Amino acid sequence: MNILLIAGHGAQDSGAVAKIDGVQYREADLTREVVSNLKKALENYGVNVSVYPTSHDAYTDYKNNKLTSFANFKSYNYVLEIHFNAGGSDLRGDGKIKGDECFWPSRGAATGLETPITSRLFTGSS
Ligand SMILES: [Zn+2]
């Protein structure tokens, strides 16, 4: 199985930014950390894992029609892009907007992996 991992945001796009206990977190940094760890974990299961260039923002590449310059998407069984979405104006973290999601492009189809992936994500509780 060949999987492409994409770390969301990056380059000039920090993605969501939060300050928690005085520490500022940038979504772009965290997605790269997760992709690095996920790559190692998947390789332990014998999966061939490629990582989209982490110096790039894949969405910017998509908008500039450069996405396929950096990855041959047809050569992968699955493409997973990591994000940590945040609700706008939820600066105090009131818990009204949280959770996880796993979606696929309208031109694609669900593979059946989406529910198992999201069911294993920690969503926190309060
Ligand atoms: Zn994001």
In a domain, residue 32? The reply is yes
Domain assignment present for residue 104? The answer is: no
**What's the 43 CA to ligand 1 centre distance in angstroms?**
25
In angstroms, rounded to a whole number, what is the distance separating the alpha carbons of residues 93 and 69? Answer: 38
d(CA 16, ligand 1 centre) in Å: 6
123 C-alpha to ligand 1 centroid (Å)? 16
- Asked whether residue 78 is domain-assigned, the answer is yes
Residue 120 in any domain: the answer is no
Residue-wise pLDDT for 78-109, tens only, equals 999 998 876 666 666 665 666 677 777 777 77
Q: In angstroms, what is the span from residue 68 Cα to ligand 1's centroid?
A: 20
Number of domains in the chain: 1
- As beta bridge partners, residue 50 has 4
Examine residue 61 and state whether it is found in any structural domain, yes or no.
yes
**What letter would DSSP give residue 118?**
H
Residue 9 lies in a domain: yes
At 112, the pLDDT band (50, 70, 90 cuts) reads confident
Q: Residue written as tokens 């000039």? A: 12
Closest CA to 10 of 95, 109, 81, 116: 81
DSSP state of 10: B
Is the residue at 117 inside a domain?
Answer: no
* pLDDT tens track for 47-84: 999 999 999 999 999 999 999 999 999 999 999 999 88
Domain that holds residue 14: 2-84
Residues in the chain, total: 126
